[in-house]
Structure 1
Amino acid sequence: MGRHSGRLVLGAALASIVAVGAHGGTTEAEEVHRLAFDFPLAPGMQVIPISKFDERGGSRRLLQVTLLLDAAVSADVTAENDAPDPAPEFALSLSGFVTSAFGSVETVTGVSETFETDGVAGSDGVTGSGPDFWDFGTVIAIVVDMDTTLTALDGFIGTGLLDAEVFASGGFVITSATDSTLTFNDFRAAGTVSVIYRHEVLFTEGGCCFDDGSCTYVFETECLAAGGSFQGELVECVSAACPQPGACCFPDGTCDEDFASTCGNEGGVYQGAGTTCVGDPCPPPVGACCLGDGTCQETTIEECDTLAGTYAGNQVLCADADCPPAGACCFGDGVCTFMLVDLCESGGVSSEATGSSATRSNVPPSARAATATAPARSCSRKIASTSAGSTRARTWRAKACRARSSARAASPAGVCRSPVRSATPAAESTSAI
């Protein structure tokens, strides 16, 4: 009688390509797919999917297909002599066969192994022990076979899978005993089946760089079809130095992750390979800042506020900014101050300025700090106050206050006009410069 138990283990595919040399000016290589199998017998079999030969865009040509089987049929076996007579040549015989097939290639291998003992005594009537009992342990029969073909190769070519099948069957017999009890467990076949594609290499693989900075080692046709950039035959990825993306800062303060070349072409500043936009690494945008003294600086909006200026907008150049002009402002008391036209006109006096008008009329009072009166400059005369008093009128001119000079009355370059005296001498108080 017999008992068996077992487990089914699916094999994992292993593939490798090995160069086998040059023949007639061409290079040949072998692509090997090796898969494991393990299944119980009574009988038993396993189907193993194996990749077909991929010509990779015509870069290689299949020459030969070989199927190689490396298997072991095994079991844990014990036997007991149930006859009253001793069995000096008590032995175990294992017989059966193992087959494998992959497309048009196949193997059929018979199994025949004998496992001898030192002989056993006649039955002692005690089951499972004694001089009439023999424990063979794990018995193993090795099977190695192969088949190959050079013809009808089209069925092996493609990008899909082709099934390999392994089948095994067998049994045990005790010899040199008229009556015996045979027990076996874990009766199974296990091993590997290999498919070897021998092929001609028409052109070789190389590093292929992709937009995300990654690299794979493939043929040029595969690389281009996948949208990559082929680095050359036999160029390893470690040497390919594929461009790596990084943070790209734009003038408006925004950030995007891109390659250095793309960043530069789009007007950005590349921050380095591997950098990211996390944490807002880009500097804030700058633009024209119109200052209280009529000048302009290109700053951030925060810096412009600190300078008490008027921000004209992000990325606006000073050359394009419509900043209000500054010039000489003549007050009614003859004092001349260099300031913006809108500040000079705040009293309502019409301006004699020429050129652009101010873009904003609400310049903060702090801007006046930038328009301090130059102590060495003044208008030509101080205007006398009438008895009724007079408004401190202002007149803005697009010129600088000129320096004090005794000859200024006759000078055509005078900026502020001479004061007008009152018609009533007794009511006026004057002071000449």
Structure 2
Amino acid sequence: MTTAFCGLALAVCTGPSFAGGSLEEVQTQSFQFPLAPGGTMLSFDQFDDQAGTRVLQKVTLMVEGTIQAMVTAENDSVLPAPDFALNISGFMTIDFRDLSTFMGYDATFLTDGSVGRSDGVPGSGPDFWDFGLVSDSETAMDMTSTDLGFFIGGGTIPANVFATGGFSLSGSTDSTIVTTMFMALGTVDIIYQYRELPTGACCFTDGECSVLTEEQCVEAGGIYQGDGTTCDPNPCRGACCLPNGDCIEVTQLECEGGAALTGALGTTTRGPAGPGVYQGDGTTCATVECPQPGACCLPDGSCFITVDVSGETCLRAGGEYQGPDTDCVGVACPDPEGACCLEDGSCVSLTQIACGDAGGLYQGDFTSCDAVSCPVTKGACCYEDGSCAALTVEECAATGGSYQGDDTNCLTAACPQPVGACCFDDGSCVELTQFDCVDGGYLYQGDGTSCATTECPDLKGACCFDDGSCSFETISDCIVAGGSYQGDDVTCEAAACPQPSGACCFDDGSCDDLTQADCVAAGGQYQGDFTGCASDPCPALKGACCFEDGSCSFLTLTDCVVAGGSYQGDGLTCDDAACPQPVAACCLEDGSCTMATQADCVAAGGDWQGLGTTCATASCLPVKGACCFEDGSCAYLIDEDCVAAGGSYQGDGVTCADAACPPPAGACCFPDGGCSEQTQSDCIDLGGVPQGAFTTCAGVDCPDPEGACCLVDGSCIFVTLERCDSQAGVYQGDGASCDTAGCPQPVGACCFDDGSCAELTQEGCLAAGGAPQGVFTECADTDCPQPKGACCLADGSCSFLTADDCDAISGTFQGIGITCADADCPTPPGACCFEDGSCTFGTQDECVTAGGTFQGGGTECATADCPPLKGACCFADGTCSFLTASDCTAGGGSYQGDDVNCDVAGCPQPTGACCFPDGSCMEETQEECVDGGYVYQGDGTSCATTECPEPKGACCFEDGSCSFETITDCIVGGGEYQGDDVTCEAAACPQPTGACCFPDGSCVELTQTDCVDGGYVY
């Protein structure tokens, strides 16, 4: 059994979304079990509503089921069965909670109309038909959209599958059917259709964000951001450090996106536009220290402070940023470097001072060694291998060369070249330079090699021999072997050594002296190398030679004439010659005579009288009779011909019709496997199967008898004893039929509603109302579910238990199937508490009737804790206490009711004046005011009598000055407000810039302070 599960993702589930946004979740299980009948139980997961975010709308049961079997059938009737047909029928049910399906099966399978009458041999023959695998399939569906609570949870739900079926044959009055592998199989789909509740981002006061439904977010005290919103990026606010070092509190998206944010009067609350660095959800500017702009070193060694943390303005000015929070006092900007030519002609990049210290010649700021040419003295340097390079004297000595002098060159230095052994074509050797050796076309052996230790190889070439063969040899080896040397480096393919000739004989007996290849190409027969036609090696030609008696021989012309024959021509065979045949007297069956060849006479059924005979001298008399042969056939022959042909002559004039030649005998096999030699008709009459004329029992293998064989699964097959044993079956006897065998059906454990178990067949179990546990299962190993019923306990409570479990806890079992709702378990008396804290002893009904709270059977007032009822008590200051009604009233509070707790009482809170940062005022509760980040003026205060101070902050002016003003005064004065409570020191108002001249005449736009502090002219 396999299980397939489709999750929520449509790409996985392949289930479409429906109108209204519905989705599908599909569970698939396959099943297979033997019939008939049979059943199984499948287990499906309940629908997971994922904490209420998925709402189940509909449950559908989809089923595809098949019943099938391997079937053979045999016509047991003496009549043929051209309409022989098989029918399979049955039904299948599937129950899944309140859903159920039913599928009926009815299918017919035909033969090709060739089923014949019974031949008495089971399992084969023209009366036997193998239907193979037959099956019928159906589909069914059921659905519900009500009472869906049963399908929701974290457990499983069973689906019970049951099927049964059978087979019948038609088209014959008597037949046998054999079925195996009778099975039920298919798949069950459980489809949960549901919709998802919308979710969105929920922001909490600590800046944390969670994706919840709107209801979940509100219940948790968060602020819902809307359907479909997500926490990535986090929409909740946190501190954001801006490029100019300022800090604002915005969402992560607003911070990293660089969106401009404005204050209450439309003025910006941060510096240059650009993405900020988000400090984390829930962070505030009060607890975050944003990095500040730092020092910038210019290429000429000067320094200024950037206006942005990233150092972008420094890079645009061509400087090197020193990092956030650095200043020009604490950094040492490096002096510029340039090319420095040293005395040895080499070049290094140094500052002007360092170059002078090294004794070099400075080429100017920012010059590159790649762009300057420092003077150096070089000359030719010769090496042992004859190579040469232009180097300084030091470089030449360091690399092991011989310096030829300043300003010498390799073209005129004439460095001596090394020599080595050089092999010539004739194998001789001379010591030369590599150039001289290779230029002469010879083989150089390497620098420093010597002819004294070098063996130069002799040259080779093709060597031809008298027999036409060839080998690649030195000239001396070729001559010694008796060959003819064709020249140095000449290959055997190029040499084309001459081939020997010999006699070549042709079909016409002629002869010619040719090479073997030419002879074969001309269609002749080569007689061998050095043979000649002078010795007449070619044989004489032959042909057909006909004689007077019509015979023929293949002879030479001479031999044919000598033998008295007629020569038909060279190469002509006897088959093609068609030598004329002689005629002689031929006696026919009716006694007449005719002159004919022997072949024509025999073909006419006559008796040829021999060469030289004539009808005038022949005696043709019809002396014939019936001639019986071993195979039972008969011929009309003369006595001599009958005997010669191996027949039995029945007498002169006896006809074959009167002779009654006996039929031959042969081996006859019987159903029990026995054999005797009988005529064909006798064998059939005795119920045997003839094996053929002249066969013997010793030479035939009669098949073993067959009979019904009962298998372990209760099915029956018609086979031999040996095959039955191989299938672990029980053989019922030779010739026994499966119809009458009564094969015992396998048993298995069968569980009943009362929890008992019996080992029965599947059919018997179902008939008895039980639940089959599977064939070959045993009750000893099966745990049948025990029935339950109400169990009344001593304290009057009730539990739904088995009888054994009830007895184990000293309960009183009320009977199988009785629920606790119907049990009416007696409750023992106990303590009864009243609202005023008093207590009485009585039954539960008496206590409830009196308005008390029953403490349980067997409880006592002496030990019962009967506290008076309490509830929420609201006081004028908005506080709440859990008190009795009397204590609340005595304390001046307002009692909210019994068992009402303070969390749900909603005590009204006092209000007071709440001052906002812009100086405005609103009367709110302290919690509302403080949660908004504002200043609460006290309970009972009024905005009419409260003067809220307007906040102040740094106000930057265009001349770079700063004053601490309210936002209104700042704007009226033409300044730019930097934010509430921001000091002028923290504001770092941008200073105006102007041209700043450096001593070298260069100019950079800086603030006056940066320029003057650097010692330059503003």
TM-score, reference length from structure 1: 0.44
* Bigger Rg, structure 1 or 2: 2
Greater strand share, structure number: 1
The structure in which a higher percent of residues are helix is: 2
Q: Which has the higher contact order (CA 8 A, sep 6+)?
A: 1
